[in-house]
A and B are shown apart, each in its own frame.
Chain A
Amino acid sequence: MHLNFRADDEDVAIEVQPDGCDWRLKIDGQEVPLEAVPDRNGAWLVETHQGRRRLWVAVRGDERLIFCDGKVHTLLLPDPEHADEAEQTQGGPNMVADMPGKVVQVQVAVGQAVAAGEVMLILESMKMETELVAAVAGTVETIHVQDGQIVSQGDALVDLSESPAATA
């Protein structure tokens, strides 16, 4: 995958290729191997020559905030192409609340196979019920909410694992 960032007022082009727990990165054409695994709560564990280090990453709009040993680094996503790409993936397998509301009914169970367009959940917002449907075909992996729960905009609702055919 190709990513573009703006860090310290400079544009950086990065190629990211996963390889198990290792990553093959090409930063501005230079090969950079990285051994990194995600930990909970936005944290990443990275093996460096100084030993294992723990960093935290957060998303704020088109900024990526990274905490490393007390210092905070900010990366910007300047590229509109990238934004398009991100836009597409938002319609991807995982469902998040588009607006605050109340979960009226979860209509799927963990492990259940769903077809694209199948209703997974009914959300009540501003006194209107909305049926939320699966964006792609897949299997229900995690349900983050239960009937009657109040959710905020952006809250995760249901995670799907896409059918193998659809996996990148």
Chain B
Amino acid sequence: MSTDLPTETERPISRVLVANRGEIAVRVIRACRELGIGTVAVCSEVDRDALHTRLADQSVVIGPAAPGESYLRADRILEVARETDADAVHPGYGFLAENAAFARACRQAGLVFIGPSPEVIEQMGEKTAARAIMEKAGVPVVPGALLPEPNSDGQFPAEAVQAVCAEVGYPLMVKAAFGGGGKGMRLVESPEAVLAACEGAAREALGAFGNGTVYIEKFIARPRHVEFQIFGDRHGNHVHLCERECSIQRRHQKIIEESPSPAMTPQLRERMGAAAVAAAAAVDYEGAGTVEFLLSQEGEFYFLEMNTRLQVEHPVTELVTGTDLVRTQIRVAEGRPLPWRQDEIRTRGHAIECRLYAEDPENGFMPSLGTILVLNEPAGPGVRVDSGVRQGDEVSMYYDPMIAKLSLHGDDRHAAIDRAVAALKSYAVLGVTTNVEYLIAILQNAVFQSGELHTGFLAEEMPSWHSEREADADLALAVGAVAEYARLQRGGPASNDAAASAEKHTPWGSLGRFRLYGLG
């Protein structure tokens, strides 16, 4: 590899360009500030006033709202890094985080890419190559096989496909080799359906990822999604920071994550942890990464994939292990050794993360757009909010609808669940519809509370969920009426600008109202 950078010695980072938006950009900027490292935010035109741009030392608008014209513009981002004299880039998650070409371009521009090498990103991004590497390293993988190539019309050779599938056994999954996020994926129960599924998955994969290569895997019934946080440095050290259970998913989108996994035993953690570390060592992994496993009902585990980035759900690991993964990412990128040995890493208590999405669970989980008129973030012991928005912000159609993460730490799983429910009940978001009540319903579900989780939990337990708002409808009506009376008395804005009435009149507005009532 041609690079002029010294890779074996420590090189302090002085200014980080954060190539992301929302809560993760905020998270990274905070870590940099704590370390005395300067920050450069980039943003799209609609994000000009977004929270992350306000927390960074400086921010640069890099293009229009559409991600392809801003947050995915590697060339613009590198240009800004040069103009602002940044010496490192943190990609966050999503956008360019697992783009090997971008990581390589950073290196060629003399910038430290805070993450693994482009070679590792490339290897792990190609699911079949990753499987092969893991198999070789002795990490258990789901039995599976590559499919023979389809012809130019997208038709697979029937006999050859049937033979390969029969060998793996039914039921099986057809998956995109270059995919993720549930696209290009099909469950096949019997041989009759396999050809159509392969063609469909290949078509979908081609459309979504620009590559229609598909492979098959044995289907594991009712598995748990259990992943291990791993960390490596430039000095050959690799550790794991225990697991996260992420079985609460909707269409492969994680919603609630926790650590430890309710299914974990010391023996199983030992074995899975060793496999995760072996996976990291196999590619000489540097920085923070995640090794995802399926854990079967029988307690067998299989390598699923390796994510070469910081995960959305990293806070639960930070809470139970008492670590700071983003700070450590930066230190490791500077060439320092890991701050912990494996035998120093322990978990304490239980942590749960709930992802707040601006979407409507009663209406097909449609993204909900608009202005956040009221925002009350919960607080208190063991309550952590990672938010990318503040009151008055616009939730636009261009980006992921996840607006914040609420992470709770408690002495045990029940304490963490109680804390989560209480915190969500005071997490007031008005103006855009969110999944707050849906999250509460999951946490209060008896099966969830029993810890008997699997990736089909939501589909099975909450196939069609509806709000139970009738319960408090009378109270809400009464308070709505009283608030309306007070508003009219005060002469607040008559309509369509509640942001002003909710925010700008605080605190004087409420004091004023108070006095008014006193006068009667």
Contact = CB atoms under 8 A, between A and B. Distances in A.
A64 B495 contact: no
Contacts of B488: 1, 85-86, 89
Nearest to B513: A38
Interface in B477-520: 477-510, 512-514, 517-520
B93 interface: no
Interface in A11-63: 12, 14, 16, 18-21, 23, 25, 27, 32, 34, 36-44, 46, 48, 53-62
A75 interface: yes
B37 interface: no
A154 B484 CA distance: 18
Contacts of B501: 59, 154, 156
A3 B391 CA distance: 28
B436 interface: yes
Nearest to B371: A60
A41 B510 CA distance: 8
A153 B508 contact: no
Nearest to B487: A59
With a 10 A CB-CB cut-off, give which of A39, A159, A168 has the most chain B CB atoms: A159
Contact of B492 (A1, A25, A94): A94
Nearest to B495: A61
A122 interface: no
B328 interface: no
Nearest to B517: A18
B467 interface: yes
B373 A58 contact: yes
Contacts of A73: 469, 472-473, 476-477, 480
Interface stretch (B51-59, B120-128, B423-431): B423-431
A9 interface: no
B499 to A, nearest CB: 7
Contacts of B284: none
Nearest to A37: B514
A71 B123 CA distance: 45
B483 A44 contact: yes
Tell me the interface secondary structure of chain A in the complex. strand
Contacts of B486: 38
Given A1-B488, A67-B429, A94-B492, A41 B517 contact: no
B471 interface: yes
Tell me the interface secondary structure of chain B in the complex. helix
A41 B506 contact: yes
B517 A34 contact: no
A3 to B, nearest CB: 5
B376 interface: yes
Given A5-B480, A19-B520, A72-B433, A59 B472 contact: no
Interface string A134-168: 00000001101000000011111001010000011
A108 interface: no
B24 to A, nearest CB: 25
B386 interface: no
Nearest to B508: A142
A25 B478 contact: yes
B38 to A, nearest CB: 27
A85 B475 CA distance: 25
Nearest to B488: A89
A41 B508 CA distance: 10
Interface residues of A, number: 72
B318 interface: no
B483 A64 contact: yes
A90 interface: yes
B516 to A, nearest CB: 8
A43 B500 CA distance: 15
A18 B513 CA distance: 12
With a 10 A CB-CB cut-off, give which of B426, B482, B498, B517 has the most chain A CB atoms: B482
Contacts of B370: 60
A27 to B, nearest CB: 7
B103 interface: no
Contact of B478 (A32, A59, A85, A168): A32
Contact of A40 (B468, B471, B495, B506): B506
A146 B432 CA distance: 31
B491 A89 contact: yes
Contacts of A69: 425, 472
Nearest to B515: A161
A40 B520 CA distance: 20
A168 to B, nearest CB: 7
Interface of B: 370, 373-374, 376, 391, 424-431, 433, 436-437, 439-440, 467-510, 512-514, 517-520
9 contacts: A3-B481, A8-B473, A44-B482, A57-B480, A70-B427, A73-B469, A92-B490, A93-B491, A168-B489
Interface of A: 1, 3, 5, 7-8, 12, 14, 16, 18-21, 23, 25, 27, 32, 34, 36-44, 46, 48, 53-62, 64-73, 75, 77, 83, 85-87, 89-90, 92-94, 96, 141-142, 144, 152-156, 159, 161, 167-168
Given A57-B480, A96-B500, 9 more contacts: A20-B520, A25-B482, A34-B479, A55-B475, A69-B472, A75-B476, A152-B500, A154-B500, A161-B512
